[in-house]
Amino acid sequence: MDYFKSYRKHEKLKLGKFVFIIAVILFVFFMISILSNKIKSEDNQEIDICEEECIEKASKNIVGISKNYNLVNDGVVSWGSGVVISKNGYILTNEHVSGAKNDNCYVILNSKEKYKANIVWSNPDIDLAILKINYNFEDCAVLGDSDELKLGEKVYSIGNPIGLDFQRSVSTGVISGTNRNLEFEENGKKFYINNLIQTDAMINPGNSGGALINKVGQLIGITTIKISSAESMGFSVPINVVKPILKKLENSGIFEETTLEFWGYDKYSVDKINVNINLDSGIYIGQVNLNSNLEKTGIKAGDIITSIDENKIEKISDLRIYIYEKNPGDIVKLRIKRDKKEFDVEVKLEKK
């Protein structure tokens, strides 16, 4: 009997130790979970704070743009937005906000000072213009990489909707789409803008020429169009297209735009002319300008440009960015696909 009592007592002690150990383990896991959640919360708070600081910093690079010195034309406020992209006085905006190359417009700084600006470059095909004012900025926008955007990525739109009372307004949204193509009509003429960024961030008329930034404050696009007939559909021109232009302006103060003198479509827009064209990559040539260097090589409508100087072409903006890095008179080699055959041609770039 004493043996069985001793055995039961020993088993009770073992069970008690086991329960105690389990309780300690559960307590340790519980505390780790609490600490982990606290750390995550603190990390998220730091991220939120970082985003707020980045947005605040980026907003200081937004300026007002007007074609009129008094900002008012026939009783209507007439102005848009621009983004400081260089400390040396270069500002990026929409061409429809500033006007065309060699025109003048006015820049309104956050201090309400007004400066006369010279439009040193513009392109109606992508609705962008770069202005120059005689002013040295303490800071400027940090350019991001618009080719790395992901669907659902958080973005912010910053601009000057309505008027001076709402300068540097911020709205938030996500990347709703990339490589969007728009067709619109102006003064009886049809226009196309390719490879746009689509966002649901709120965009009002005065936001035209303003900034689309990512969560770390990098400039990834310039707001250009809002479809008035649809809710939460705004568009921006990807920032990568202006990088070679800004580089040349900063280095020499001059940018001479080059061109291949044709009208083309990529896989994102080719269905505008024919839904039956199977285009996985490259640029489908819809029209070659008469007497252009490209026409003289024998290139014709229906040909496909697959690469330039051995660089594969996926979309129209790829080709545009590459030739922006060149100068008028430079010779490039195009790889052409015609029916089932491929061949190379050399073309001298022309000045636009």
CB 197, CB 221: distance < 8 Å: yes
**What string of DSSP letters covers 142-200?**
PB--GGG--TT-EEEEEE--SSGGGTTEEEEEEEEEEEEEEEEEETTEEEEEEEEEEE-
Residue 120's nearest CA partner among 136, 135, 104 is 104
96 in catalytic set: yes
Q: Residue 21: how many CB atoms within 10 A of its CB?
A: 10
CA–CA separation, 43 vs 47, rounded Å? 6
Q: Are 188 and 233 in contact (CB under 8 A)?
A: no
In the Cβ-directed half-sphere of 254, how many Cα atoms lie within 13 Å? 6
Three-class DSSP labels, 235-303:
EEEEHHHHHHHHHHHHHHCCCCCEECCEEEECCCCHHHCCCCCCCCCCEEEEEECCCCHHHHCCCCCCC
Instruction: Find the Cα–Cα–Cα–Cα dihedral 39, 43, 46, 51, rounded to 10°.
Output: -160
Selected catalytic residue, list 81, 169, 208, 236: 208
Is 127 an active-site residue? yes
Residue 208 a catalytic site member: yes
Active-site residue identified among 96, 98, 269, 317:
96
Selected catalytic residue, list 59, 127, 157, 318: 127
- DSSP SS3 for 110: coil
Residues with active-site annotation: 96, 127, 208
